Amino acid sequence: MALGAQSREVLRTALGRAFKLLAIGSAAGLLLGILASSVLASIVYQATPRDPLVLAGVVVAMALLGLVATWIPARRALTVSPLVLLRED
């Protein structure tokens, strides 16, 4: 945790970077998914290859998993005292 930073600012910075990467990855994944729609048609049964509900569900699920995977270590890092970290170095 940065010296002088509020825990809210540190958490927002960590989640902001992750959200940006997830947005870029989701956009690239959607584009590639639409381009590979024939392969998706054989994997996803009872859905059209470009079913917006399936595509949106996958994007939302991956975004939530990515944010939770970032939030857990960020919250754990906020509990450590900066003074303890400085003494260890």
pLDDT tens per residue, range 23-81: 898 889 888 877 877 776 777 676 676 777 877 888 888 888 888 888 888 888 777 77
- Domain for residue 22, yes or no? yes
Please name the residues in contact with 77: beta carbons below 8 A apart, sequence gap of 6 or more.
Answer: 1, 10, 14
pLDDT at position 52: 79
Rg of the chain over CA atoms, in angstroms? 19
* Residue 57 domain flag: yes
Residue 3 lies in a domain: no
Note the pLDDT of residue 24: 92
- Note whether 65 and 5 are within 8 A (CB): no
Q: Which helix (H) or strand (E) holds 19?
A: helix 7-35
Confidence of residue 1 (pLDDT cuts 50, 70, 90): low
Please tell me the predicted confidence (pLDDT) of residue 2: 57
The CB density around residue 83, as the number of other CB atoms within 10 Å, is 9
Q: Domain total for the chain?
A: 1
